[in-house]
Homo-oligomer: A and B are copies of this chain.
Amino acid sequence: MAESSKTKKRRRLEPDSTADEHKLPFKNRLKPDSSILETLRLLAASASSSSSSKPKTLADLSLSSTCREVTDLSLPSIQSAIETLVLSVTHSILSGKGFSFDVPSRAATNQLYVPELDRIVLKDKNTLRPFANISSVRKTTITAKILSLIHQLCLKNIHVTKRDLFYTDVKLFQDQTQSDAVLDDVSCMLGCTRSSLNVVASEKGVVVGRLIFSDNGDMIDCTKMGMGGKAIPPNIDRVGDMQSDALFILLVEKDAAYMRLAEDRFYNRFPCIIVTAKGQPDVATRLFLRKMKMELKLPVLALVDSDPYGLKILSVYGCGSKNMSYDSANLTTPDIKWLGVRPSDLDKYKIPEQCRLPMTEQDIKTGKDLLEEDFVKKNPGWVEELTLMVKTKHKAEIQALSTFGFQYLSEVYLPLKLQQEDWL
């Protein structure tokens, strides 16, 4: 009996699920994939020609005397910079003058958004950190210790985490925020990126799709990484040989959306590379995204939540974080397009009321603060979207699209976005 009722039930289901497809907003507007692919080819070609023009530098804008930037340095250069620094300290001590470190200020007042570069940079103010001063003696000692640890890493050519550094002298550092902060100071002092110091952050990011690259000497084919994808390596200096036949890079905020696209092998229907840091962008993922953009010259389209944090995350990838503004040249990926989910999509794609969430007071404040940021103001389309979000006081996650079925994201929403070139 159970069996016969089951058959009946299934027969009843089928017309339902067809009806379902008719309910899917805009599914009928989708053109054949070949037409969408043509659009993407044009996008890729324009990205490739625009990125072949050399990116502007501080020097081009005559800002090199008032702003500072770090670069990737080789281990021997860092080693020798540390030795020179320590030698001058020794001279100073021997000549009876005691010693200080001259440390670039990383305070908010010393930061500047440069519209021509479309990223935040550090200005040239320095702070003296004297050893013979009760208020700075600890910090000076920590600075000396970190310099000595980095010197060891140079000799051994290995990578360690910030946590490893902290544990070399817990009594001195007291807590990890102190050794972390001085590590950034040391990067600025030596004029090199934190990754050149061989100190890596924990990696969270994953990548899947039309990309082949080498990780520490092993060739990785990201179309053959199943659903889990390839973990993004913590140390970008051991990543190389990038090859791809993708037409764009799809930067995804959350791993739920990433998993949907990986399982559906979205990258086979529309050749792309899908990457996510699973939330807040970590340094490894930011470096990896930039390297892909620079080497492959592909357009980057971002899929983030429709809330102030989604845009903020996009801006960290694009313009950098204030905390690491000294390294914005290496950490940022220029010209990321905001594909979705945008505030205007909520009405356009008929996201039901119950899948929109009311913004909290804090959300609204963050949204209004973003509207004051130069990197948002620069893009009139972004201002318009963000204004709409703050006005309607509604936010929505990428997953809200699941209300039309779990595969609406990969089968309708994204293809239609691409077809309509609907990015900002």
Contact = CB atoms under 8 A, between A and B. Distances in A.
A177 to B, nearest CB: 15
A159 B259 contact: yes
Contact of A203 (B13, B228, B254): B228
A313 B402 CA distance: 33
Contacts of A407: 156, 158
B217 A226 contact: yes
Contacts of A168: 402-403
A400 B264 CA distance: 43
Interface residues of A, number: 73
Contacts of A214: 226
Contact of A226 (B2, B83, B215, B256): B215
Nearest to A229: B231
A167 B402 contact: yes
A191 to B, nearest CB: 16
B229 A164 contact: no
Copies of this chain = 2
A202 B278 contact: yes
A357 interface: yes
Most chain B CB neighbours (cut-off 10 Å) among A6, A160, A170, A214: A170
A26 interface: no
A203 B406 CA distance: 19
B163 A256 contact: yes
A168 B408 CA distance: 12
Given A2-B84, A161-B256, A164-B399, A216 B220 contact: no
A234 B238 contact: no
A33 interface: no
Given A17-B155, A406-B164, A354 B171 contact: yes
Contact of A227 (B9, B163, B238): B238
A60 interface: no
A93 interface: no
A218 interface: yes
B231 A231 contact: yes
A309 to B, nearest CB: 15
A295 interface: no
Contacts of A155: 13, 17
B397 A167 contact: yes
A2 B354 CA distance: 68
Contacts of A397: 163, 167
Given A226-B214, A407-B158, A2 B171 contact: no
Nearest to A218: B224
Interface in A218-277: 218-220, 223-235, 238-239, 254-256, 259-260, 263-264
A364 interface: no
Given A159-B259, A161-B256, A355 B170 contact: yes
A192 interface: no
16 contacts: A6-B83, A6-B84, A9-B83, A158-B406, A159-B227, A163-B399, A164-B260, A164-B399, A202-B255, A215-B225, A215-B228, A225-B231, A227-B235, A230-B230, A231-B231, A235-B263
Instruction: In the A-B complex, list the 7 residue pairs whose CB atoms are closest, starting with the nearest.
Output: A215-B226, A171-B354, A228-B233, A216-B226, A218-B224, A228-B231, A161-B256
Given A2-B80, A220-B225, 20 more contacts: A5-B83, A9-B87, A156-B406, A158-B263, A163-B254, A164-B260, A164-B406, A167-B400, A168-B402, A202-B256, A202-B259, A206-B231, A216-B263, A218-B223, A218-B224, A220-B224, A225-B230, A227-B238, A229-B231, A230-B231
